[in-house]
């Protein structure tokens, strides 16, 4: 009887130990989940997405002869195809985290990763746009940032730049890259605005480990108007590869008419009636039109710009979409129309504001568009323009620009020496209330 009691007692002790172990494991798992909140690490696998773009959770580590490989990094790329040759000469032995909510920026950076032969972890924020993560309540995310900065060599924050706040306000040994593709203070609440602008301004001016990449020239000017001087940055436009979701279907049909997308209210109130009045043949496409392969089947796409810059512009170039736009004179006239929903009409009152900060009128791209100065001119322009030649022209442009963009990203990622960073010693605008100047 006594022996049986001893056996039972030992069994209870073992059960108790296993119970304690199980509770500890669950507790650690829950803490990890609290830090990451099901943070959706997206893994793109070959054959299903961007022509073989590999995005993996952990970077591979390969020892290379850095001096030799850095010289060959751009020359080794097959620019006619997203696929990198099997005998690729360079591999970035670094761990890179890409933090974004936008499938367009994810698609763009993932393709860059493939072309430059590096792996990247894609992380989508688990918290709402206008709030800070839960870890901020604990220790202002110091522990979380330390963990991530120890895990990765580069942390790229894109799309919603306020997501970078916790990295800019905590020690981080990783290189922080702010890829500004939208207004840098988007979704910052009034309550947090002063603090955010102050911390952001201090970081971009003083923190040598923070690098700014902008995908259009307006972002530095807008930051200036908000009181933040960005003294150094790279200007790198997207390379135009469309997100996987719109690339699954083939579109071999050919339309002999132009098209416009019913994107904004002014497309119904301005574009549609004017096209009807001048009697040109056209198709009105829905907001979700199916991607650039659909647009390329039409003679041309007519657009009234609604933003200073859109990723779809470079995307359309990539896939051979000819674009018709109002001339700069007509565009400025439209900006005075209350029906026209352009995001930054104040540029109409800034000297060279349109040509400097609206990509559709930037000197780098003006030769790629077909402009009309009056609606009545459209029938003649459509009749006499060689749109097939224009489609070939924009495709050729993107092949050349891709090489330039990849070379710039190689500088950002410390693969080759930096020599193309833009430096503005003085702010781009006048402002009596700078946070960092």
Sign, CA torsion 426/428/429/434 = negative
Max CA distance (Å), the chain: 107
Joined tokens for residue 41: 């690490």
Joined tokens for residue 70: 């850095």
Are the C-beta atoms of 58 and 101 separated by less than 8 Å?
A: no
Nearest to 239 by CA among 79, 368, 55: 79
Q: Residue by residue, what is the 3-state secondary structure of 258-314?
A: EEEECCCHHHHHHHHHHHHHHCCCEEEECCCCCCHHHHCCCCCEECCCCCCCCHHHH
The tens-digit pLDDT sequence of the chain (437 residues) is: 545 555 555 555 555 545 544 444 334 333 333 333 333 333 332 223 322 233 333 333 323 343 344 334 444 444 444 443 333 334 457 899 999 999 899 999 999 999 998 889 999 988 998 888 989 999 999 999 999 999 999 999 999 999 999 999 999 999 999 999 999 999 999 999 999 999 999 999 999 999 999 999 999 999 999 999 999 999 999 999 988 877 877 888 999 999 999 999 999 999 999 999 999 999 999 999 999 999 999 999 999 999 999 999 999 999 999 999 999 999 999 999 999 999 999 999 999 999 999 999 999 999 999 999 999 999 999 999 999 999 999 999 999 999 999 999 999 999 999 999 999 999 999 999 999 99
Nearest to 219 by CA among 256, 250, 178, 257: 178
How big is the chain by its Cα radius of gyration, in Å? 26
Are the C-beta atoms of 85 and 58 separated by less than 8 Å?
A: no
Nearest to 398 by CA among 431, 365, 435: 365
CA geometry: angle 43, 45, 51, nearest 5 deg: 125
Joined tokens for residue 164: 């970078």
**Topology given in CATH for the domain delimited by 249-403:** Rossmann fold (3.40.50)
CA dihedral (253, 258, 261, 262) in degrees, to 10, reads -120
Instruction: Please indicate whether the domains covering 41-242 and 249-403 agree at the CATH topology level.
Output: yes
Tell which CATH classification among 1.10.3470, 3.30.56, 3.40.50, 2.30.29 matches the domain 41-242.
Answer: 3.40.50
Domain spans in the chain, listed from the N-terminal domain onward: 1-36, 41-242, 249-403
Helix (H, G, I), strand (E, B) or coil at 213: strand
pTM of the model: 0.80
């Amino acid at each position: 009887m006594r022996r049986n009691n001893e056996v039972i007692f030992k069994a209870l002790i073992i059960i108790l130990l296993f119970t304690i172990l199980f509770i500890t494991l669950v507790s650690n798992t829950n803490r990890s989940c609290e830090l990451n909140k099901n943070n959706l690490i997206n893994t793109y696998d070959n054959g299903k997405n961007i022509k073989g773009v590999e995005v993996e959770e952990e970077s591979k580590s390969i020892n290379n002869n850095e001096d030799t490989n850095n010289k060959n990094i751009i020359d080794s790329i097959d620019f006619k195809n997203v696929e990198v040759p099997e005998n690729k000469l360079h591999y970035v032995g670094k761990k890179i985290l890409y933090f974004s909510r936008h499938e367009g920026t994810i698609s763009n950076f993932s393709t860059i990763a493939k072309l430059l032969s590096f792996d990247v972890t894609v992380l989508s924020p688990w918290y709402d746009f206008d709030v800070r993560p839960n870890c901020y309540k604990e220790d202002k995310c110091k522990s979380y940032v330390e963990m991530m900065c120890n895990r990765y060599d580069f942390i790229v924050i894109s799309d919603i730049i306020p997501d970078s706040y916790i990295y800019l306000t905590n020690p981080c040994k990783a290189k922080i890259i702010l890829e500004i593709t939208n207004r840098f203070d988007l979704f910052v609440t009034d309550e947090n605005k002063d603090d955010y602008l102050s911390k952001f301004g201090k970081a971009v001016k003083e923190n040598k480990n923070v690098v700014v990449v902008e995908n259009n020239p307006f972002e530095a000017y807008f930051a200036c108007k908000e009181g933040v001087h960005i003294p150094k940055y790279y200007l790198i436009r997207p390379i135009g590869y469309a997100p996987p979701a719109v690339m699954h279907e083939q579109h071999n049909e050919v339309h002999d008419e132009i098209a416009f997308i019913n994107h904004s209210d002014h497309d119904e109130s301005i574009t549609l009636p004017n096209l009807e009045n001048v009697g040109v043949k056209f198709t009105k496409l829905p907001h979700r039109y199916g991607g650039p392969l659909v647009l390329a089947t039409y003679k041309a796409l007519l657009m009234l710009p609604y933003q200073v810059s859109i990723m779809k512009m470079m995307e359309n170039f990539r896939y051979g979409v000819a674009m018709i736009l109002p001339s700069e004179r007509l565009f400025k006239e439209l900006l005075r129309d209350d029906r026209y929903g352009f995001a930054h009409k104040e540029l109409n009152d800034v000297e060279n504001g349109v040509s400097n900060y609206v990509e559709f009128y930037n000197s780098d791209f003006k030769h790629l568009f077909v402009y009309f100065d009056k609606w009545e001119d459209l029938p003649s322009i459509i009749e006499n323009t060689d749109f097939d030649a224009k489609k070939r022209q924009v495709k050729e442009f993107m092949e050349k620009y891709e090489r330039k963009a990849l070379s710039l990203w190689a500088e950002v990622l410390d693969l080759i020496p930096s020599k193309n960073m833009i430096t503005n010693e003085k702010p781009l605008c006048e402002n009596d209330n700078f946070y960092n100047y």
